[in-house]
Amino acid sequence: KAGVTQTPRYLIKTRGQQVTLSCSPISGHRSVSWYQQTPGQGLQFLFEYFSETQRNKGNFPGRFSGRQFSNSRSEMNVSTLELGDSALYLCASSENQNTEAFFGQGTRLTVV
Amino acid sequence: ILNVEQSPQSLHVQEGDSTNFTCSFPSSNFYALHWYRWETAKSPEALFVMTLNGDEKKKGRISATLNTKEGYSYLYIKGSQPEDSATYLCAFINPNDYKLSFGAGTTVTVRA
């Protein structure tokens, strides 16, 4: 069974630009969550999608958005990038809300 | 925002020694607690999903206990090996919205 795949693995963007990150969950998993990790911080929850609907949202500004497609693949978009958006963005999929999450290897975003 | 705290932040262990560390979470209205291991350059990997007060789970030399009444879980590593070096994360599931709230982690370094 293929694991969670995130693309790209690394990304360098300039302030003010926008970026789209992609996540392909494990086959059969309908829940996809996104997290941000910055140095010294734990994993900060961004949002969760289930069957194409955003089910939960963390405390991030509206510049952070996402969506989920009918095949459960998910994308995350960050507009008007700021230096502070530089982070590791992790995606995780699970069968449902109370089962273990399977994480991708993350996208390392650097904003310059 | 739920307060999930892990202590200590880091610890160094001699190979062969046993160790343990703590995850504290809100004790009211418990749903589930997850433990993950995050090795450098890899994805977080689920260790345990704990749902019942008094739960004890074991995987090889690693085990975990859960006390939902007082709001803590312990993770134990018996006979630490260098391959146990990783950051161990606990995550509390908010019963109101089922979001995973992660602690900042305990980073374990096992010295040969």
pLDDT tens digits, residue range A37-48?
A: 998 788 999 999
Query: Using the beta-carbon criterion (under 8 Å), do A103 and B104 form an inter-chain contact?
Result: no
Between chain A and chain B, the number of residue pairs with CB atoms below 8 A apart is: 57
Q: Identify whether the C-beta of residue B34 lies closer than 8 Å to the C-beta of residue B90.
A: yes
Query: Using the beta-carbon criterion (under 8 Å), do A98 and B103 form an inter-chain contact?
Result: no
Q: Give exposure, B36-53, as e/b (b: 16+ Cβ within 10 Å).
A: bbbeeeebbebbbbbeee
Give the residue-averaged pLDDT of A96-110. 91
Could you tell me the pLDDT band of residue A72, with boundaries at 50, 70 and 90? very high
Query: Tokens 């999903």 appear where?
Result: B49
Could you tell me the pLDDT band of residue A1, with boundaries at 50, 70 and 90? low
Sheet harboring B56-59: ordered strands across?
A: B5-7, B19-24, B72-77, B62-67, B56-59
Query: Using the beta-carbon criterion (under 8 Å), do A100 and B34 form an inter-chain contact?
Result: yes
Residue of chain B whose Cα is closest to the Cα of A39: B104
Of A42, A99, A103, the CB nearest to B49: A99
Residues A79 and B77: their CA atoms lie apart, in Å, by: 43
Residues A5 and B67: their CA atoms lie apart, in Å, by: 35
